Amino acid sequence: MCNYKCCIFKSVFSVIVSRRLIIGVALLLWTWKVSAQQDPQFTHYMFNTLYYNPGYAGVEGVTKLTAIHRSQWLGYAPSFGGGGAPTTQIVSMTTPIYKLNSGFGAYIVNDKLGPQNNLEAQASYAYHLGIKDAKLSLGMRVGIYSQTINFDQYRPTDFNDPLLGATGKQSQVRPDLAVGAFLRKEKYYAGVSFNHLIKSEFDFGVSQRNALASHVYVTGGYFYDVNFDLRFQFTGLVKSDFTKTTFDIGGLAYFKDTMWGGLSFRQSEAAILMLGYSLLKDKSLKLGYGLDYIIKDQAAKQPTSHEFMLTYELPVNPGSGKKVVRTPRYRH
């Protein structure tokens, strides 16, 4: 059966490093195979840049809170055991630190994959450099990565397998580290980051170890103003574990910075529709919805995934020492 989320990656940039992907033997006991080192995917990746790149921390010049809930393959039910369809939640915040020309960000991710649950708590710091009319941000992220496995939900193919000694729920917590760089100009932005640099291992008492694979993420976007009321945003995300690659590309249209809609495509996975609306007088509260229609291996999944997003930007503090101009293009 298909690997969860079908998002294992290979870099399209100049340096490509080959390495073997380490997969825990324990996870092979489940007929629906799950790559434990695989990061969750988000339809609203263009609104969730901090998750992919620590260099994004504080780069917008405003304090922003973001919450996303994703229901993958809604309605999927396994043929045995429990777990059901994968679900993911993330809550994040990012804020500038003007006196230090830098920014801070943090997030918590809960990723439920059948009998396995991944939990992350990460904090990022980024230093901002002014380069002519651009801003270059260099960031680092440190945190913890926890895996919990319910061994009672596995169905063995070999009852004599020594790995079957594990029962019930077991959890392990490991450190995590990432670095990234993010460049922003008026019309475009681009970033690259390297995640899971420590390659923490989860063994759960067996000799075979499942290690977090290092990932590289490349993000980019371009804004095109048609007129005062209408503008477009073109976005892209490349994801790689140096063995395989996938990408997301999309386009959004914003009308008066109040409502938006667009289409996106995830390689070997889904075609996506996105809609959103800005609330409050200063448009600081935004609601977003994404509908993924599965176009590959639909028979092994369910045809749709759903994602909901909520963001809120705090009012600018007049005593911050620097006036922030709320340019719409910098608020996404």
Q: What confidence score (pLDDT) does residue 13 get?
A: 28
* Residue, of 76 and 314, whose pLDDT is higher: 314
Q: Is the pLDDT of residue 321 over 60?
A: no
Q: Rounded CA gap, 130 and 55, in Å?
A: 14
Residue 273 has pLDDT above 70, yes or no: yes
Structure tokens at 198: 């420590």
pLDDT (mean) for 40-51: 96
Kindly state the DSSP code that residue 213 receives in the 8-state scheme: P
Nearest in space to 219 (alpha carbons), one of 189, 257, 197: 189
Tokens of 3: 């690997």
Predicted confidence band of residue 314 (pLDDT cuts 50, 70, 90)? very high
Instruction: Provide the pLDDT confidence category of residue 37 given band limits of 50, 70 and 90.
Output: very low
Give 22's DSSP letter.
P
How would you classify the pairing of strands 169-184 and 134-150?
antiparallel
For the beta carbon of residue 102, count every other beta carbon within 10 angstroms. Answer: 19
Length of the chain: 332
Give mean pLDDT, residues 277-286: 94
User: Which region holds residue 171: left if phi is over 0, alpha if psi is between -120 and 50, else beta?
Assistant: beta
CA-CA distance, 142 to 181, in Å (whole number)? 15
Q: Rounded to an integer, what distance in angstroms lies between the CA atom of residue 301 and that of residue 77?
A: 9
Both tokens of 58, joined, read 């504080």
Residue 209: its pLDDT value, please? 64
Q: Where do the domains of the chain lie?
A: 4-331
With a cut of 60, say whether residue 27 has pLDDT above it: no
- Whose CA is closest to 177, among 214, 210, 202? 214
Taking only the tens place, the pLDDT of each residue in 137-182 is 999 999 999 999 887 777 777 766 666 666 778 899 999 999 999 9
**Confidence at residue 112, expressed as pLDDT on a 0 to 100 scale:** 92
**pLDDT at 167 (0 to 100):** 72
The C-alpha angle 17, 21, 24, rounded to 5 degrees, equals: 160
CATH number for the domain running over 4-331: 2.40.160.40
**pLDDT value of residue 84:** 75
Q: What is the pLDDT of residue 162?
A: 63
Rounded CA separation 91/14 (Å): 33
Between 168 and 308, residue with greater pLDDT: 308
Please give the pLDDT value at position 35.
Answer: 38
Mean pLDDT over all residues of the chain? 82
Strand 230-240 and strand 245-255: the pairing is: antiparallel
User: Could you give the 3-state DSSP secondary structure of residue 243?
Assistant: coil
Residues 247, 212, 75, 154: what is their CA dihedral angle, to the nearest 10 degrees? Answer: 150
Q: How confident is the model at residue 208 (pLDDT cuts 50, 70, 90)?
A: low
Of all helices (H) and strands (E), which one includes residue 289? strand 285-294
Q: Using the predicted structure, report yes or no on whether residue 22 has a pLDDT greater than 90.
A: no
What's the pLDDT band for 33 if we cut at 50, 70, 90? very low
User: pLDDT for 53-83, tens place per residue?
Assistant: 999 999 999 999 999 999 998 877 766 656 6
Mean pLDDT of the 3-13 span? 34
| Dihedral in degrees, nearest 10, Cα atoms 44, 46, 52, 53 | -160
Q: Supply 212's token pair.
A: 């977090």
pLDDT at 79: 65
The residue among 64, 55, 204 whose CA lies nearest residue 141 is 55
Q: For the segment 75-124, what is each residue's pLDDT rounded down to a tens digit? A: 777 666 566 789 999 999 999 999 999 999 999 999 998 888 999 999 99
pLDDT digits (tens, 9 = 90+) for 244-262: 899 999 999 999 999 999 9
| Sequence-ordered strand ranges (E) for 85-156 | 87-97, 102-113, 116-131, 134-150
pLDDT at 80: 63
